Chain A
Amino acid sequence: MALDKPVKTDIETQEADAAVTGLSDHALIEQTKSGDEAAFAEIVNRYRNPLTNYLFRMLNDYEEAVDLAQETFVRVFFAIERYHTDYAFSTYIYRIATNLAISEIRRRKRRRLMSLTGFFQNEGEEADFHPPDKKPLADAAMLEDEQKEIIARAIATLPDKYRAPIVLRDIEGLSYEEIAGVMRLGLGTTKSRISRARGLLKEKLKNYFEFEI
Chain B
Amino acid sequence: MNSNNLQNLRKDAEFSDSSERKISEIVGTLERVSAPNDFNFRVKAKIAEEKGTSKNAYRHWLRYVLPVGAAAFVLVFGLYAFNFFQTAVPYEQAENVEPAKVEEIRTPAAEKTPDNTFVAESNTARTADLPADSVIQSNTQPKITAEKPIFTADKSARKKSEIQAKNTPEDTFKGSRDLAREPVSVQILPTGIEPDKSIPPTEGVGNSGKTNIVELLNFVGAEIVTEAGKMKVKSVRQNTLAERAGVKAGDVVESFDEQKSDGNSNSANIGGARKLVVSREGKLHTFDLKLN
A residues lining the B interface (CB < 8 Å): 1-4, 6, 9, 11-12, 15, 41, 44-45, 48-53, 56-57, 62, 65-66, 69-71, 73-74, 77-78, 138-139, 142-143, 148, 151-152, 155, 166, 169-173, 175, 191, 195, 198-199, 201-202, 205, 209, 211-213
CB of B43 within 8 A of CB of A205, answer no
CB of A70 within 8 A of CB of B43, answer yes
Q: Given the known A-B contacts A148-B30, A209-B26, are A195 and B20 also in contact in the complex, defined by CB atoms under 8 Å?
A: yes
Q: How far is the CA of A186 from the CA of B16 in the complex (A)?
A: 19
Question: Which residues does chain A contribute within 8 Å of B30, judged by CB atoms?
Answer: 57, 148, 151-152, 171
B5 at the interface (CB under 8 A from A): yes
B50 at the interface (CB under 8 A from A): yes
CB of B34 within 8 A of CB of A6, answer yes
Question: Which residues does chain B contribute within 8 Å of A166, judged by CB atoms?
Answer: 27
Query: Per-position contact with A for B13-29: 1 when CB-CB < 8 Å, else 0?
Result: 01011111011101111
CB of A74 within 8 A of CB of B17, answer no
Question: Which residues does chain A contribute within 8 Å of B24, judged by CB atoms?
Answer: 169-170, 198
Q: Given the known A-B contacts A2-B2, A213-B19, are A45 and B40 also in contact in the complex, defined by CB atoms under 8 Å?
A: yes
Q: Which 9 pairs, one residue from A and one from B, show the smallest C-beta to C-beta distance?
A: A211-B19, A173-B1, A48-B35, A170-B27, A52-B35, A198-B23, A139-B33, A53-B32, A198-B20
Question: Which residues does chain A contribute within 8 Å of B32, judged by CB atoms?
Answer: 4, 49, 53, 171
Q: Given the known A-B contacts A9-B37, A44-B40, A148-B30, are A71 and B14 also in contact in the complex, defined by CB atoms under 8 Å?
A: no
Question: Which residues does chain B contribute within 8 Å of A169, judged by CB atoms?
Answer: 9, 24
Question: Which residues does chain A contribute within 8 Å of B179, judged by CB atoms?
Answer: none
Question: CB-nearest residue of chain A relative to B4?
Answer: A2
Q: Given the known A-B contacts A202-B20, A212-B19, are A74 and B46 also in contact in the complex, defined by CB atoms under 8 Å?
A: yes
Other A-B pairs, 16, CB within 8 Å; known A173-B9, A212-B22:
A6-B34, A48-B35, A49-B33, A49-B34, A52-B34, A66-B35, A74-B47, A139-B33, A173-B6, A191-B14, A198-B23, A199-B20, A201-B23, A205-B23, A211-B18, A212-B17
Q: How far is the CA of A129 from the CA of B210 in the complex (A)?
A: 106
Dominant secondary structure of chain A at its interface with chain B: helix
CB of A138 within 8 A of CB of B33, answer yes
Q: Given the known A-B contacts A48-B35, A52-B33, A211-B22, are A70 and B46 also in contact in the complex, defined by CB atoms under 8 Å?
A: yes
Q: How far is the CA of A1 from the CA of B28 in the complex (A)?
A: 17
Question: CB-nearest residue of chain A relative to B29?
Answer: A148
> How many residues on chain B are close to A (CB under 8 Å)?
33
B39 at the interface (CB under 8 A from A): yes
Give 28 pairs: A residue, B residue, CB < 8 Å, sorted on A: A4-B1, A4-B2, A9-B37, A12-B37, A12-B40, A44-B40, A45-B40, A49-B32, A52-B39, A53-B33, A53-B34, A62-B33, A66-B35, A66-B36, A69-B39, A71-B46, A73-B43, A77-B47, A139-B33, A142-B33, A148-B29, A155-B27, A170-B28, A175-B9, A195-B20, A211-B19, A211-B22, A212-B22
B196 at the interface (CB under 8 A from A): no
B residues 106-158 near A (Cβ < 8 Å) are none
Q: How far is the CA of A212 from the CA of B50 in the complex (A)?
A: 53
Residue in contact with B35 in the complex, picked from A69, A202, A209, CB distance below 8 Å: A69
B31 at the interface (CB under 8 A from A): yes
Please indicate which of the listed interface residues B1, B14, B31, B42 has the most CB atoms of chain A within 10 Å of its own CB. B1
Query: Per-position contact with A for B204-217: 1 when CB-CB < 8 Å, else 0?
Result: 00000000000000
CB of A48 within 8 A of CB of B39, answer yes
Question: CB-nearest residue of chain A relative to B42?
Answer: A70
Q: How far is the CA of A45 from the CA of B30 in the complex (A)?
A: 22
Chain B nearest CB, measured from A160 CB (Å):
17
Q: How far is the CA of A76 from the CA of B22 in the complex (A)?
A: 36
CB of B19 within 8 A of CB of A195, answer no
